[in-house]
Structure 1
Amino acid sequence: MFSPTVIAVVFGVIFLAELPDKTALASLMLGTRYRAGYVFAGVAAAFVVHVALAIAAGSLLHLLPHRWVQGVVGLLFLGGAAMLLLSKGEDEEEVRPPASQSFWKVAGAGFTLILVAEFGDLTQIMTANLAARYGDPVSVAIGAVLGLWAVAALGIFGGQFLMKRVPLSLITKVAAAVMVVLAGVSLYEAIAG
């Protein structure tokens, strides 16, 4: 059985915690480059795994060395920023038409990016804590997954909307700059402890 109250509370907490996080940025970038439905399928699947891991191993996440997790996340952000800046020349501003993109390739990219970037993230730890607090893993899982999916959908479809109004080169440069800042914050936390 599940509790609608717990689902609503967890949804609100996770949605608000994830909204300013890297997931919205990653989803936005994927949404500007690929078919939205394909991206969402991969991202949604990654979040199901993300939440299942949080619920199943919630107490163990607190035992992971925070410095190592932040260091890896910081390096992943730097790598992502480098990939964004180096992947296309200025003369290649066109995005391939969605019809030429494989569902499995796009969904797999979204799945991998989110699964790796979100491992040990605040929302995963919060989900584990909420599951322990409420003693209702099913309700917590439903609320957390729905909250994460809502943020991803906003990012993906926001990316599609943005592409119609802003040049891809500008979006890429801004996203890379944000990733460098996030990398700096993560690396600082890894070093400072």
Structure 2
Amino acid sequence: MDALTTSFLISFGVIFVAELGDKSQLMALTFATRYRAMPVLIGITVATAVVHAVSVGLGFGLGAALPTEWITLIAAIAFLGFAGWTLRGDVLTENERQKAQRAKRSAIIAVTIAFFLAELGDKTMLATITLATQHGWFGTWLGSTVGMVVADAIAIVIGQQLGKRLPEKAVRYGASALFAIFGVWLLVEAITQLV
């Protein structure tokens, strides 16, 4: 498998899992109860592409500046942190829910702005930065963007068809376990490189 495909698949998988049960996925579900699916999906895609481009730029710059073994150790610690963050869960505050429901402008603009702001400093942004320190920038950007859009598309379909959330507890435990596995794997790799 070439480097582009590898970075795409790893980034897609990690960000897809990170987005399950995330605050922005809950926002997608909320927007889907108010607007048609396509404008919501377009808004999510635009915001995600921009935020993840910035994330990849930051990660790629860090990757060039730091030794590989330390990047791997930092990535391991970050993924273990993501596991804890995911296990703790994310909730949409009442204020955020009201903003999503009150948006009077174009659905695409409202969703783009809401998602852009929600993703700044979010675990998916931090995970994308981490991934970009070790993988090619284009594959990481494309994989992380597509992974998030697909996860949010699932929320849109569910929001429009069922009007309910995914079973939050099961998703949270599963995603947390996957982050922990990635974290332990990277930790073992980092220790091996440092010794």
Q: Same fold (TM over 0.5)?
A: yes
1:138 aligns with 2:154: no
The one-letter code matched in structure 2 to 1:141 is W
Residue 45 of structure 2 corresponds to 44
Matches of 2:100 and 2:108, distance apart in 1 = 22
1:122 aligns with 2:123: yes
Residue pair 1:41, 1:107 contacting (<8 A) in 2 also: yes
The one-letter code matched in structure 2 to 1:80 is E
User: Which of structure 1's runs of 4+ aligned residues deviate more than 3 A?
Assistant: 84-87
1:44 Cα shift?
A: 0.7
Residue pair 1:32, 1:159 contacting (<8 A) in 2 also: yes
CA deviation string 1:118-167 (max 9, x = no partner) = 10111111101111112x1001011101101101111112111024xxxx
1:86 Cα shift?
A: 9.3
1:80 aligns with 2:96: yes
The one-letter code matched in structure 2 to 1:19 is L
Matches of 1:28 and 1:128, distance apart in 2 = 26
Residues 1-193 of structure 1 mapped to structure 2, 5 A cutoff: 3-58=4-59, 59=62, 77-81=93-97, 83=98, 105-134=106-135, 136-163=136-163
Matches of 1:112 and 1:50, distance apart in 2 = 11
Matches of 2:100 and 2:7, distance apart in 1 = 42
Which residues of structure 1 form unaligned runs of 5+?
A: 63-73, 88-101, 164-170, 179-193
TM-score (norm 1): 0.62
The one-letter code matched in structure 1 to 2:157 is F
Matches of 1:46 and 1:153, distance apart in 2 = 14
1:127–1:162 CA distance, 2 compared to 1 (3 A) = same
Residue pair 1:31, 1:160 contacting (<8 A) in 2 also: yes
1:116–1:44 CA distance, 2 compared to 1 (3 A) = same
1:116 Cα shift?
A: 0.4
1:86–1:109 CA distance, 2 compared to 1 (3 A) = closer
1:140–1:158 CA distance, 2 compared to 1 (3 A) = same
Matches of 1:140 and 1:159, distance apart in 2 = 28
1:53–1:84 CA distance, 2 compared to 1 (3 A) = closer
1:84 Cα shift?
A: 6.5
* Aligned sequence identity (%): 30
1:85–1:155 CA distance, 2 compared to 1 (3 A) = closer
TM-score (norm 2): 0.61
Matches of 2:118 and 2:146, distance apart in 1 = 18
1:77 Cα shift?
A: 3.2
Count of aligned pairs: 136
